[in-house]
């Protein structure tokens, strides 16, 4: 009989990248983590021994707990979180089962440092259109759900990055930027090790829209039109980002699940 306190690899993989995905807590011991220092998407590392001290950080969240094999550490931490009233499950089979199933794993060697509240902080040019919405979407859905994004005048990005210990992106002469014909979204997918069929398909659409190469993907023209429309609907860049998250969520689900589906007006006697 399936456990009622565990989530399977296939169940969790269907939630990754979606707005309702659970918070993922990695409680592997240091030796196991150092042997493979990658993380499930959006994971945060926590010490299982101090769970009473940090459990309240996840109040109101749905949580999936990951240890090396899905045994005592993750099950014990999940049980403690449930004691605190938090909806928590352990990942069945743990990190090893996820890796064996070829689930997405985030490279951590390029992960920016976090602030004193555990968040990554990023800065870019104001008035985003495509790439500067795409990158925050990717970060919040696959890297750091609590990431902070600062939008400033182009001439002030470098100084703001220095003063606020933020990571500059999508601007000339920084690491997280365009490379040849590929845009910053491509760079982040590559550097974080997130290559997958759905994200690669989305990256093609983003690249086509961002670089005015609309012939690369038939969806690019509509995607660009929606992006430009959003940029004119919102004066506040953070409000635009919030609205744009839904656009990218929808396109990601299409890239993942709906590329073969068509829609036609039903003829008489036939269902839609």
Residue 268 lies in a domain: no
The domain boundary, picked from 66, 101, 136, lies at: 101
Residue 107 lies in a domain: no
Q: Residue 266's pLDDT is what? A: 76
Residue 266 lies in a domain: no
Does 59 share its domain with 180? no
Does 86 share its domain with 152? no
pTM: 0.95
Q: How do residues 127-174 score in pLDDT, each as one tens digit?
A: 999 999 999 999 999 999 999 999 999 999 999 999 999 999 999 999
Q: How confident is the model at residue 270 (pLDDT cuts 50, 70, 90)?
A: low
Q: Which residues of 157-166 are buried (b: 16+ CB within 10 A; e: fewer)?
A: bbebbeeeeb
pLDDT at 271 over 90: no
Please give the residue range of the domain that contains residue 143. 114-258
Tell me the average pLDDT of the chain. Answer: 96
User: What is the total residue count of the chain?
Assistant: 272
Q: Residue 268's pLDDT is what? A: 65
CATH number, position 19: 3.40.250.10
Does 43 share its domain with 73? yes
Q: Residue 98's pLDDT is what? A: 98
Domain count, the chain: 2
Residue 108 lies in a domain: no
Does 44 share its domain with 164? no
Which one has a higher pLDDT value, 102 or 261? 102
Residue 174 lies in a domain: yes
Q: How do residues 107-126 score in pLDDT, each as one tens digit?
A: 999 999 999 999 999 999 99
pLDDT at 1 over 90: no
Residue 253 lies in a domain: yes
Q: How do residues 18-60 score in pLDDT, each as one tens digit?
A: 999 999 999 999 999 999 999 999 999 999 999 999 999 999 9
Q: Residue 272's pLDDT is what? A: 58
Q: Residue 160's pLDDT is what? A: 98
Region 237-247: what's the mean pLDDT? 98
**Can you read off the two tokens belonging to residue 45?**
């590392």
**In the chain, what percentage of residues exceed pLDDT 70?**
97
Q: Residue 34's pLDDT is what? A: 97
The domain boundary, picked from 101, 130, 150, lies at: 101
Does 19 share its domain with 78? yes
Region 67-89: what's the mean pLDDT? 98
Does 49 share its domain with 129? no
Number of neighbours of residue 236 by Cβ within 10 angstroms: 9
Q: Residue 269's pLDDT is what? A: 61
């Amino acid at each position: 009989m399936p456990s009622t306190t565990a989530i399977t690899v296939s169940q969790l993989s269907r939630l990754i990248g979606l707005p309702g995905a659970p918070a993922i807590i990695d409680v592997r011991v240091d030796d196991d983590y150092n042997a493979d220092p990658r993380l499930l998407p959006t994971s945060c590392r926590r010490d299982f021994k101090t769970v009473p001290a940090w459990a309240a950080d996840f109040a109101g969240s749905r949580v999936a707990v990951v240890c090396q094999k899905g045994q005592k550490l993750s099950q014990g931490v999940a049980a403690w979180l449930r004691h605190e009233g938090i909806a928590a499950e352990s990942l069945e089979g743990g990190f090893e089962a996820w890796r064996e199933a070829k689930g997405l794993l985030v490279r951590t060697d390029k992960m920016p440092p976090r602030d004193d509240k555990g968040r990554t902080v990023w800065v870019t040019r104001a008035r985003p259109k495509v790439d500067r919405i795409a990158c925050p979407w990717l970060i919040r859905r696959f890297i750091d759900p609590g990431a902070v994004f600062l939008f400033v005048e182009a001439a002030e990005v470098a100084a703001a990055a220095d003063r606020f210990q933020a990571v500059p992106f999508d601007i000339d002469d920084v690491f997280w930027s365009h490379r040849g014909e590929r845009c910053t979204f491509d760079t982040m997918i590559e550097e974080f090790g997130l290559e997958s069929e759905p994200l690669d398909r989305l990256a093609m659409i983003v690249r086509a829209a961002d670089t005015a190469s609309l012939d690369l993907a038939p969806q690019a023209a509509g995607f660009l039109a929606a992006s430009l429309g959003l940029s004119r609907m919102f004066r506040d860049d953070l409000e635009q980002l919030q609205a744009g998250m839904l656009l990218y969520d929808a396109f990601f689900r299409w890239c993942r699940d709906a590329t073969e589906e068509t829609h036609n007006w039903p003829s008489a006697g036939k269902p839609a």
